[in-house]
A and B are shown apart, each in its own frame.
Chain A
Amino acid sequence: MIKAVLVFNNHGKPRVSKFYQHFPEDTQQQIIRETFHLVSKRDDNVCNFLEGGTRLNSLIGGSDYRLIYRHYATLYFVFCVDSSESELGILDLIQVFVETLDKCFENVCELDLIFHVDKVHYILQEMVMGGMVLETNMTEILTRIEEQSKIEKSEAGIAGAPGRAISAVKEMNLPQKIKDIKLPDLPSIGSLKF
């Protein structure tokens, strides 16, 4: 089972954190910090699995877990999983997650994760549920995300309509516009024929 999915940058700033086992809020932050501490001091060419130390064990409560991580440019993607998961399988799952983010955001970068934290969560939700792998097929995941975006757009359309109407009214500079109204030239009376 996946206990947590953590994404933080090279300075340890959390970008996404999702826990599938309940921890109090401050413990969550401590786990993130400790995980960063463990992962960040490792070289890039060592293995992608590691066990937490005594401190992380006491935070997580036990030692039946492993950190499986990948480091991409400025971001660390860390999955904390127990012994029932295949290490390489999870490593690939991280890759699928990142590739999916990349497809959704077009060349995903740290900023995308910051400004669209909710979206990142929705993507993750399509892949992992209650700590178990839900879907691994990227096409399928993307379809579901697109479906959501469509709904969002259509709802923004309905919700946006009154807003747009009001702003249209607000923008009107009435006095000026009245002045600007050019009355059509009246035909000269003289030419009127009865």
Chain B
Amino acid sequence: MPAVKGDGMRGLAVFISDIRNCKSREAEIKRINKELANIRSKFKGDKTLDGYQKKKYVCKLLFIFLLGHDIDFGHMEAVNLLSSNKYTEKQIGYLFISVLVSASSDLMKLVVQSIKNDIVSRNPVHVCLALQCIANIGSRDMAEAFNRDIPKLLVSGDTIDSVKQSAALCLLRLLRTAPDLIQLGEWASRVIHLLNDQHMGVVTAAASLIEALVKRSPEEYKGCVSLAVSRLSRIVTSSYTDLQDYTYYFVPAPWLSVKLLRLLQNYPPPEDPAVRTRLTECLETILNKAQEPPKSKKVQHSNAKNAVLFEAINLIIHMDSDPNLLVRACNQLGQFLSHRETNLRYLALESMCLLATSEFSHEAVKKHQETVINALKTERDVSVRQRAVDLLYAMCDRTNAEDIVAEMLTYLETADYSIREEMVLKVAILAEKYAVDYTWYVDTILNLIRLAGDYVSEEVWYRVIQIVINRDDVQGYAAKTVFEALQAPACHENMVKVGGYILGEFGNLIAGDHRSSPIVQFQLLHSKYHLCIPSTRGLLLSTYVKFINLFPEIKAQIQEILRNDNNIRNPDVEIQQRAIEYLQLTSVTSTDVLATVLEEMPPFPERESSILAKLKKKKPGAAEDPDAAGGKSSPPTVASKPMPEISVNASYQPQGASGGSADLLGLSSSAPPAAAPASNDTGCLVDVFDMLGTGASPTSNGLTAAADENYKSATTPDLEAGPDKIHEFVCRNNGVIFENDLLQIGIKSEYKQNLGRVGMFYGNKTSVPFSNFTAEVSLPGELSSQLMAQAKPVDSQVEAGAQKQQLVNIECVTDFTVPPVLVINFLYNGAQQHMTVKMPVMVNKFLEPAEMDAATFFQRWKNLSAPAQECQKIFKAKPPMDGEQTKSKLLCFGLSILEDVDPNPENFVSAGVLHTRNQQIGVLLRLEPNSQAQMYRLTIRASKDAISTTLCELLESQF
């Protein structure tokens, strides 16, 4: 009898067989519904079920769930199984819970209770079940309930190995869920020393935990470096018989080796020379072993060996300090590039991408250019081709840019659809970055549009226009080239846009040639007009009006087009309005005014390439400067994030981060007049319209202003803080308040009376240091007189992966309504980053609870009866209503809970004092939950006007 088959459950087997015999999906659903009804009636029935039956039914439910059907009952029965003293029943109960019950379920309290019993059980298998359940669900509540027990289990001498292993990973899970709740304190060093444990399984689990701890506070766990190195050294130098069971296909402890090598990648090369030498020896040994003949032909042997080897290479690249090792690593990867195992080719390309960023090995990587280009052409697997593209991008520099770009363009024609957009971005960036001769750049981009027009995003064609406008040496060439490109019978719409724009600006430069005379240019463009979507037509209309300025001789033909019913009465408002306005403009104004309004675009201010920003957005970290040495990119991925939502018209949201209308000359018909910028050009245009008194609403933006607006929206504007998280911190003092791909900001704060100490933590999530880092607290408007905030200076350099701390002292002078704002500036990869984050400092932080008896409370309540002193809100409960949670929220909010004051025990009555420098303000609260209607009525009275409203609003967001 095999180990686990055991005594099966007959009913279960019959049911599964039935399902498998179902001929159709309908039959299957019918059978399942029958079974669900059966189980439901069994659970609901009067007969109490024994453990075996419950277990059987729960198993059936699990099976049904796996087939993709919702299970909306049985949870309670599963929870009941947890308290069974039979292992198998407990086990199936836990299994059901971890597969089917979510952390937010109401049942979690009961589950936590059961775990509490099991975790202190003398029976280690019960403890393991409980730990597994915590690790599977890992909710915040669990972190709160077990943040003492689990570390104890982990470091205690009596704990057996299997429990220790589980405890380590369980703690890791909780650390991820609620980093603020897990503090090891004095146990930190005992946890580090688990790396010396006898049992390899314990060491492996501990290494995972320690890595997470290290990421949080590298300094505190620095001691793990030497321990990890010596452990690694012992494994690497052992023979495969030493470690017996942990030897996998002749490779000693491969998983643990990988973990240790990863752990070491969190630190710079060890400072202690002895440790450093030992580590170098390890890495050399691993590289040497790769050259030895394999001990087994099995793929598992080579896999395990190479898993360690690749991780060692990653560590070598990370340390980036030993040229000898780097070159050896590069040669090793070079061998893999032509290995017959696809997996190894894939990984080699990926690791080489990292190597290419190191100044020591960049040249060595370039030697493999031929092989990589070959991979692009011959690899059968798109994943591998993708890696080849990434590597080509990373190894590109001025010397090989033309070759690489040419190869990528050739490949683009046959490239997989999934990677085209990204390739287009990469080609565009390389072409711009390494262009010596800008005609080459223009050719490349136009080629891109021709070959893969659909994948050319707005950013790419915006960028080519920006560059052409800013460089007068290339303008004539660009005009000529787009003119030629437009002659193709079928052109991509993006080509029409670029062509239209460039000819509108620089068509005069080629008008001397009779083959591209004004009327020829105009007719060529207009032959495309009817095939284009409205936004492109709008752009072309702008080109036409610019033509009137450039080439007065074709004014009549153009006005004819504008006057055409197809335009002037076009159902699309934008086209209609442009046609009307342009027609008016060109009929009424003098040539001087026309020349001023339609003058050539001024150069764009130099900013970071919008394309680079887009690529970064697609794959954070992977779009680093190809020749920036020392950088290390996170593994790139094919996939693109969904495009940011595109606003209909950029002028609606001048600050919007996404490109608006596909029109650089966008004249917005609907922008609010108040937004008119007071520049001279604009003033002129507005005057023109005022003078004309046209019926159409005057456009608020001048041509240049509008274009600039669009330009702004095409590049990345300042980083804005993400969704407003501030409400999460009304009742919390610690946590992460902001996080994006680059930066994480955490806060820890404590308050006493009217004073507060706030620690801000800035974590650099990238692999590149931030420089010129500044963080300042800004008190906008009135707040500057209501609050005093004093921020200590913060180091201007934030190393990759490191965290910096800043202390802010705050004093509440008087009550306030808006929170202070944190303004952060730094340079990342040479690009200026700016962000503003609201600091979760609200007026309730300065509340302290007050105790009083019922008589006093009512007395004071009555005294505060002026209308301005009271605020009442009635609102719907968002999270489920829970008395205990409400209590804790009120306490965290800064108020007391006064028992036996309200005659209705369901209601909550609280009191507190708000401390400000100038005065102390009494606050009384009454909260009446109505569980039937799922509504709350909240009444707050305060001895100072308006405060009750502020507090009410803050508190309402919490329920």
B494 interface hit (Cβ, 8 Å): no
A10 interface hit (Cβ, 8 Å): no
Q: Could you mark each residue 128-141 of chain A with 1 if its beta carbon is under 8 Å from any beta carbon of chain B, else 0? A: 01111111111110
**B245/A54 in contact, CB under 8 A:** no
Stretch binding the partner chain, chosen from B299-307, B712-720, B915-923? B299-307
Q: How far is the CA of A17 from the CA of B99 in the complex (A)?
A: 9
Q: How far is the CA of A96 from the CA of B248 in the complex (A)?
A: 9
Residues in A with CB closer than 8 Å to B674 are none
Residues in A with CB closer than 8 Å to B619 are 63
With A56-B639, A149-B6, A151-B88: A47-B169 Cβ-Cβ less than 8 Å: no
Stretch binding the partner chain, chosen from A86-94, A164-172, A175-183? A86-94
**B52/A144 in contact, CB under 8 A:** no
A125 to chain B, nearest CB (A): 6
**B201/A118 in contact, CB under 8 A:** no
**A46/B639 in contact, CB under 8 A:** no
Residues in B with CB closer than 8 Å to A20 are 136
**B383/A46 in contact, CB under 8 A:** yes
Interface residues of A in 89-143 (CB under 8 A from B): 89, 91-93, 95-96, 103-106, 114-119, 121-123, 125, 129-140, 142
B3 interface hit (Cβ, 8 Å): yes
Residues in B with CB closer than 8 Å to A50 are 383
Can you list 18 A-B contacts (CB < 8 A)?
A14-B68, A16-B66, A17-B66, A29-B68, A47-B383, A51-B386, A56-B639, A64-B637, A88-B310, A129-B132, A137-B201, A137-B246, A144-B162, A148-B91, A153-B6, A153-B7, A155-B87, A156-B6
Residues in B with CB closer than 8 Å to A95 are 300, 303
With A91-B303, A118-B92, A149-B3: A132-B169 Cβ-Cβ less than 8 Å: yes
**A25/B70 in contact, CB under 8 A:** yes
A97 to chain B, nearest CB (A): 13
Q: A63-B641, A160-B7 are in contact. List 7 more A-B contacts (CB 8 A).
A: A22-B103, A57-B640, A87-B310, A88-B343, A95-B303, A136-B204, A159-B51
**A105/B4 in contact, CB under 8 A:** yes
B412 to chain A, nearest CB (A): 19
B568 to chain A, nearest CB (A): 41
**A123/B52 in contact, CB under 8 A:** no
Q: Which residue of the partner chain A has the closest CB to B59?
A: A118
Q: How far is the CA of A144 from the CA of B160 in the complex (A)?
A: 13
A152 interface hit (Cβ, 8 Å): yes
With A51-B639, A86-B307: A115-B8 Cβ-Cβ less than 8 Å: yes
Q: Is the interface of A mostly helix, strand, loop or mixed?
A: helix
B789 to chain A, nearest CB (A): 35
A43 interface hit (Cβ, 8 Å): yes
User: A-B pairs with the 3 shortest C-beta distances?
Assistant: A130-B135, A88-B307, A130-B173
**B343/A87 in contact, CB under 8 A:** yes
Q: How far is the CA of A84 from the CA of B200 in the complex (A)?
A: 20
**A149/B4 in contact, CB under 8 A:** yes
With A53-B418, A88-B303, A155-B86: A142-B641 Cβ-Cβ less than 8 Å: no
With A134-B205, A140-B201: A57-B639 Cβ-Cβ less than 8 Å: yes
The interface centre, meaning the residue of B200, B300, B343, B637 with most chain A CB atoms within 10 A of its CB, is: B637
**A84/B262 in contact, CB under 8 A:** yes
**B87/A18 in contact, CB under 8 A:** no
**A48/B343 in contact, CB under 8 A:** yes
**A45/B342 in contact, CB under 8 A:** yes
A23 to chain B, nearest CB (A): 10
Q: How far is the CA of A95 from the CA of B16 in the complex (A)?
A: 27
**A136/B246 in contact, CB under 8 A:** yes
Interface residues of B in 596-643 (CB under 8 A from A): 619, 634-635, 637-642
Q: How far is the CA of A20 from the CA of B98 in the complex (A)?
A: 9
Interface residues of B in 674-702 (CB under 8 A from A): none
**B4/A14 in contact, CB under 8 A:** no
Q: Report which of A43, A93, A130 forms a contact with B170, defined as CB distance below 8 A.
A: A130
**B638/A51 in contact, CB under 8 A:** yes
Chain A contact-residue range equals: 35 or more
Q: Report which of A46, A92, A104 forms a contact with B4, defined as CB distance below 8 A.
A: A104
B20 interface hit (Cβ, 8 Å): yes
A75 interface hit (Cβ, 8 Å): no
B806 interface hit (Cβ, 8 Å): no
Residues in A with CB closer than 8 Å to B112 are none
Q: How far is the CA of A92 from the CA of B304 in the complex (A)?
A: 7
**B642/A58 in contact, CB under 8 A:** yes
Residues in A with CB closer than 8 Å to B200 are 137
Residues in B with CB closer than 8 Å to A16 are 66
Q: How far is the CA of A130 from the CA of B174 in the complex (A)?
A: 10
Q: How far is the CA of A160 from the CA of B245 in the complex (A)?
A: 37
Q: How far is the CA of A52 from the CA of B638 in the complex (A)?
A: 8
Residues in B with CB closer than 8 Å to A149 are 3-4, 6
Q: How far is the CA of A153 from the CA of B95 in the complex (A)?
A: 19
**B346/A130 in contact, CB under 8 A:** no
B913 interface hit (Cβ, 8 Å): no
**B87/A129 in contact, CB under 8 A:** no
**A92/B300 in contact, CB under 8 A:** yes
**A66/B635 in contact, CB under 8 A:** yes
Q: Which residue of the partner chain B has the closest CB to A60?
A: B639
**A47/B342 in contact, CB under 8 A:** yes
Residues in B with CB closer than 8 Å to A134 are 165-166, 169, 201, 205
With A29-B68, A105-B5: A130-B205 Cβ-Cβ less than 8 Å: no
Interface residues of B in 1-37 (CB under 8 A from A): 2-8, 12-13, 16, 20
Q: Report which of A29, A56, A117, A142 forms a contact with B63, defined as CB distance below 8 A.
A: A117
Residues in B with CB closer than 8 Å to A92 are 248, 254-255, 300, 303-304, 307
Residues in A with CB closer than 8 Å to B99 are 18, 121
Q: Could you mark each residue 638-672 of chain B with 1 if its beta carbon is under 8 Å from any beta carbon of chain A, else 0? A: 11111000000000000000000000000000000
Q: Report which of B62, B92, B342 forms a contact with A46, defined as CB distance below 8 A.
A: B342
Q: Could you mark each residue 88-105 of chain B with 1 if its beta carbon is under 8 Å from any beta carbon of chain A, else 0? A: 100110010001001100
Q: How far is the CA of A83 from the CA of B632 in the complex (A)?
A: 13
B208 interface hit (Cβ, 8 Å): yes
Residues in A with CB closer than 8 Å to B637 are 51, 63-64, 66
B258 interface hit (Cβ, 8 Å): yes
A182 to chain B, nearest CB (A): 37
Q: Could you mark each residue 162-176 of chain B with 1 if its beta carbon is under 8 Å from any beta carbon of chain A, else 0? A: 100110011011000
**A53/B95 in contact, CB under 8 A:** no
**B205/A115 in contact, CB under 8 A:** no
**B201/A49 in contact, CB under 8 A:** no
With A118-B62, A155-B87: A46-B246 Cβ-Cβ less than 8 Å: no
Q: How far is the CA of A49 from the CA of B349 in the complex (A)?
A: 13
Q: Report which of B8, B201, B634 forms a contact with A135, defined as CB distance below 8 A.
A: B201
B166 to chain A, nearest CB (A): 6
Q: How far is the CA of A106 from the CA of B131 in the complex (A)?
A: 29
Q: How far is the CA of A97 from the CA of B758 in the complex (A)?
A: 48
Q: Report which of B169, B172, B173, B634 forms a contact with A64, defined as CB distance below 8 A.
A: B634
With A48-B343, A86-B307: A137-B205 Cβ-Cβ less than 8 Å: no
With A86-B258, A140-B245, A152-B87: A119-B4 Cβ-Cβ less than 8 Å: yes
Q: How far is the CA of A56 from the CA of B639 in the complex (A)?
A: 9
Residues in A with CB closer than 8 Å to B306 are 88
B556 interface hit (Cβ, 8 Å): no
**A117/B66 in contact, CB under 8 A:** yes
Q: How far is the CA of A149 from the CA of B6 in the complex (A)?
A: 7
**A14/B307 in contact, CB under 8 A:** no
B380 interface hit (Cβ, 8 Å): yes
Interface residues of A in 2-59 (CB under 8 A from B): 14-18, 20, 22, 25, 29, 32, 42-43, 45-54, 56-58
B197 interface hit (Cβ, 8 Å): no
Q: How far is the CA of A92 from the CA of B307 in the complex (A)?
A: 9
The interface centre, meaning the residue of B4, B51, B383 with most chain A CB atoms within 10 A of its CB, is: B4
**B87/A63 in contact, CB under 8 A:** no
Residues in A with CB closer than 8 Å to B245 are 137-140
Q: Report which of B86, B169, B211, B380 forms a contact with A130, defined as CB distance below 8 A.
A: B169
B353 to chain A, nearest CB (A): 13
Residues in A with CB closer than 8 Å to B307 are 86-89, 91-92
**B88/A152 in contact, CB under 8 A:** yes
